[in-house]
Amino acid sequence: MMIAIPEVLDKDAVARVRSLIDAAEWVDGNVTSGYQSALAKQNLQLPESSQAAKQAGSIILDALGRTPLFVAAALPLKVYPPLFNSYAGGQNFGVHVDNAIRLQPGSDFRIRSDLSATLFLEEPEDYDGGELIVEDQYGAQAVKLPAGHLLLYPATSLHRVAPVTRGRRVASFFWMQSMVRDGEARRSLFELDTAIQTIAQDRGQGDPSIIQLTGVYHNLLRRWADA
């Protein structure tokens, strides 16, 4: 399931994040690449140890916890601390698949990467190219969202970043381990949750059918969740 989540960061939060990361020192993006990715990757990145990256990442993590659509779609168990990258002057990231396991350097923190996320931090009219192109069951989907909006997509998918031919594309990227490992089960739970919330707007949360459907949702979550 691929879903765009609007306004994870508002304009003020985007400005705070950009003020932190724009003043930091950027390095070659292959500092976090696996072997396959290193062959395809041309960009800059903030080191994970950068205080700017940690502070900006905390702003993003706090915002994710306040975004119901993200929580409903991802059912996150663990979120890898957000990273930051930049593309300009023709830089791009060729077709690749994300590593199945992500290890945080210098710690025992690790996750199984069920989902990937890109949080756009530059307005789309300020650069040319730079689309995130994700291969899903419907073919290649090219995505370029406003600053503060996030794309959530399966970490199992092949994806790439098109060359940036004008301006600079800045984004945060990270991975999640979901409480529900199976992607189709996670999709079904999300669709059921969405339907419940839609019906509840008309009938109210106390309607017997809403209570029954909510019970079905939680019993399925109990059956499928690893947590």
> Under CATH, what is the fold of the domain 183-224?
DNA Excision Repair, Uvrb; Chain A (4.10.860)
* CA–CA gap between residue 56 and residue 22 (Å, rounded): 11
Q: Binding residue per annotation — 149?
A: no
Residue 219 identity: N
Predicted structure pTM score: 0.93
Does residue 37 surpass a pLDDT of 60?
no
- In degrees rounded to 5, what are phi and psi of residue 145? -105, 160
Report whether pLDDT(227) > 90.
Answer: no
Which CATH fold would you assign to the domain 3-178? Jelly Rolls (2.60.120)
169 is annotated as contributing to ligand binding: yes
Question: Closest Cα partner for 170 from 3, 10, 17, 8?
Answer: 17
CA-CA distance, 47 to 32, in Å (whole number)? Answer: 9
Residue 32 reports pLDDT greater than 70: no
Q: Give the pLDDT confidence of 152-205 residue by residue, as tens digits.
A: 999 999 999 999 999 999 999 999 999 999 999 999 999 999 999 999 999 999
The CATH 4.10.860 domain(s) of the chain lie at 183-224
* CA distance linking residue 227 with residue 223, whole number of Å: 10
**The 3-state secondary structure of 49-81, one letter per residue:** CCHHHHHHHHHHHHHHHCCHHHHHHHCEEEECC
Residue with tokens 């109210």: 204
- Give start-end residues of each CATH 2.60.120.620 domain in the chain: 3-178
